[in-house]
């Protein structure tokens, strides 16, 4: 403590000059004793003890640095998760917006996808639409499994697929082909969610096989 500060400190309302002088003198003596004590303690330390003290201070600094780094990483993970979630939400928004503004696309989406009277072009478009659903679903599932996005994004898509589109024969054909690109764990989970675990490989008539060949689905 600075001696000059001790001599000029607050007198806490003392009015008598002698009392003020004695109070300041006591503060000064206390300051001198404190400085002397610290000086003796520092001079009594050996080089080894000073080195140990420095290492302890350094270790404490490392601990605080690691805690700060952990907080920074946690914050970055939250930001990345929010960005991924926004991207997935934007996909759905674009799909719905496209349907609302494009009359021709809305008419296509309102078709009976299980009808036997669909043209070759309509069947092809349906299969391509189903592929976009699968690609989107695969991506969301993987991100949920990695902890990058909330599971609500996956649940939203599964509720849409459970409305009936996956029960159509075209959806069954597309899934039967694309399931080969996924792990057995995903296949079992998906078929349990959509088909109650009882997915049957769709059978195709001669006419359907001929139409499929005309579509050139291997392109």
Same domain? For 142 and 156 the reply is yes
Residue located via tokens 């303690």: 41
Question: Span 80-97, mean pLDDT?
Answer: 81
The structural domain count of the chain equals: 3
88 and 167: one domain?
Answer: no
Upper half-sphere CA count for residue 127 (Cβ side, 13 Å): 21
Residues 139 and 204 in one domain: yes
Q: What's the whole-number average pLDDT of the chain?
A: 76
Give tens-digit pLDDT for 145-166: 988 888 999 999 999 898 888 8
For the question of whether the overall pTM of this predicted structure is more than 0.85, the answer is: no
Do 37 and 55 share a structural domain? no
Residues 6+ apart with CB under 8 A from 177: none
**Which residues form the domain of 89?**
47-102
Q: Which residue has the higher pLDDT, 205 or 54?
A: 54
Tell me, yes or no, whether 40 and 51 share the same domain.
no
What's the pLDDT at 154? 92
Span of 114-123, 142-151, 165-174, 204-213 with lowest mean pLDDT: 204-213
Clarify whether residues 146 and 205 are in a common domain: yes
Residue 26 and residue 55 in one domain? no
190 confidence band (pLDDT: 50, 70, 90): very high
Does residue 95 sit in the same domain as residue 79? yes
38 and 80 housed in the same domain: no
* 63 lies in the same domain as 144: no
More confident residue, 81 or 208: 81
Tell me, yes or no, whether 74 and 126 share the same domain.
no
Whether 113 contacts 168, CB under 8 Å? yes
Contact status, residue 24 vs residue 6, Cβ threshold 8 Å: yes
More confident of the two residues 153 and 53: 153
Q: Are residues 96 and 13 in the same domain?
A: no
Residue 106 contacts residue 99 (beta carbons within 8 Å): yes
């Amino acid at each position: 403590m600075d001696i000059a500060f001790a001599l000029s400190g607050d007198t806490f309302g003392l009015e008598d000059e002698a009392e003020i002088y004695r109070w300041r003198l006591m503060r000064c003596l206390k300051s001198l004793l404190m400085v002397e004590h610290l000086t003796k303690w520092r001079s009594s330390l050996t080089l080894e003890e000073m080195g140990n003290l420095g290492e302890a201070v350094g270790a404490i600094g490392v601990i605080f640095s690691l805690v700060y780094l952990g907080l920074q990483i946690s914050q970055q993970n939250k930001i990345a998760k929010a960005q991924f979630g926004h991207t997935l939400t934007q996909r759905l928004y674009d799909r719905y917006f496209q349907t609302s503004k494009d009359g021709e696309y809305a008419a296509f989406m309102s078709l009976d996808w299980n009808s036997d009277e669909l043209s070759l072009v309509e069947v092809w478009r349906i299969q391509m639409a189903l592929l976009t659903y699968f690609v989107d679903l695969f991506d969301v599932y993987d991100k949920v499994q990695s902890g990058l996005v909330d599971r609500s994004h996956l649940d939203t898509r599964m509720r849409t697929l459970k409305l009936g589109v996956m029960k159509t024969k075209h959806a069954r054909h597309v899934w039967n082909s694309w399931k080969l690109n996924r792990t057995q764990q995903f296949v079992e989970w998906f078929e349990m969610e959509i088909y109650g675990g009882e997915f049957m490989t769709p059978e195709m008539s001669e006419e359907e096989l001929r139409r499929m060949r005309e579509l050139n689905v291997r392109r």
